[in-house]
Structure 1
Amino acid sequence: MGDQAKVQSHLNGHRARLRERFLKGGADALADYELLELILFLAIPRRDVKPLAKDLIERYGSYAGVLSADVESLRAAPGLGDTAVAAIKSVQASALRLARAGASTRPVMSNWSAVTDYLQGAMAHIPREQFRVLFLDRKNALLKDEVLSDGTIDEAAVYPREVVRRALELDATALILVHNHPSGDPTPSRADVVMTKNIIDTCERIGIRVHDHIIVGKTGQSSFKELGLM
């Protein structure tokens, strides 16, 4: 057996053992870089991807950070082609769809832990500020989960008009406001408080209730309602 064949045989054996450990023990049986290896196996069949998996976790800070990274950022990472980028992002998309389905099975206010888990997965590792709204019907069931701004949210004056316009289009009667802090600290800023008050005041004039404003950080969340800010 030639050197190249020996290398490929060793690689195939490693992959088979890793798959078997995963199938027997689930995700808890693997380190984060090994779980990422499983994803990369699908896209990079003839290369040892362990060093690449470790490099990606170091670059983005965590397994979740890799899955949440922007497509263009992943494309710029050494060792990743479009097939590998698509594999990584498809795993994130599948996880978020599963979490969102769990959050939508019951009225939002009686399924709060599932909702906050979904929001943490969707927003904690986004490297820019994103503002989204959960639009609810009269029974507090989720009508629509929609990103209204993807970037800075400093221009607070635009949001009351946009939020109300979209709520009326969807016939929503209640809302939950959500945005992330890329810094990782979910503590509300003064601008966050002012923006929230403006949206609440505008919504109240037409009978739409704002249940809460959630700020998502890398390690946790802040609730305006729990903090007494609304």
Structure 2
Amino acid sequence: MKTKKMDILSITGVLVGVGAILLGIVLDGGDISSLVNAPALIIVFGGTFGATLLQFPPAIFVRSMKMFSWILIPKEVDLSAQIDKVIYWSHLARKEGLLGLENALPNEKDPFIKKGLQLLVDGNNPDAIREILDLDMYSKENRGLQAAGLYEAMGGYAPTIGILGAVMGLIHVMQNLTNPELLGQGIATAFVATIYGVGSANLIFLPVANKLKTHVLALTQAKEMLVEGIIAIADGENPRNIKLKLGGYLHDA
């Protein structure tokens, strides 16, 4: 697995989305400073964060926080390099037998790859290898999707809590109808809370969730390719045929 360069599209997306809204306010003659409201900020983001903590167990919460870095610096697998590895293993297995793959184990740092090679070295049948590796692969995918789901949940809570903030602001307005000096603050909190909730959900939380899901599924697909390669080696397939088969996983430019 390698670490790619910074994802410029993620940064550009945030800048374009937020910038377009702010520019629209300015062009309409509004004041950007009117969007700064501490009570609304506390209500929306504090409430969203609290509801999220209630929904998810600590393990998923910690994993999702770690995965957030994938938005800026995504983790990907060099599929071409992985195919080359599989072809090398297949040639090695043909030349020295499956036990010859034991020499390749120390060079691999990925636990998934090491497990697959070890299963080959131990002489397991293809069905047993597939069952073990599929269980490992899909359990990791499930944990990754659960972590991405945390941001999706935040995208669901934020607008609703924004509405809650709006109602609270209107209650404040109703309680101070006889005091015009306090009406403005209550009205500002009401509308800004709604903007915070809807804006954060659609510009941050939901896009982050979907992008993380995309990365998780891409990593799973890379593991699927490895499983197919390892099974092909266990079946004694020709290295040339293995390369043609795994070539279907390469993305078109």
Query: Shorter-chain TM-score: what band?
Result: under 0.3
More strand by share: 1
More helix by share: 2
Give the structure with higher Rg (CA): 2
- Say which structure, 1 or 2, has more relative contact order (CA 8 Å, 6+ apart): 2
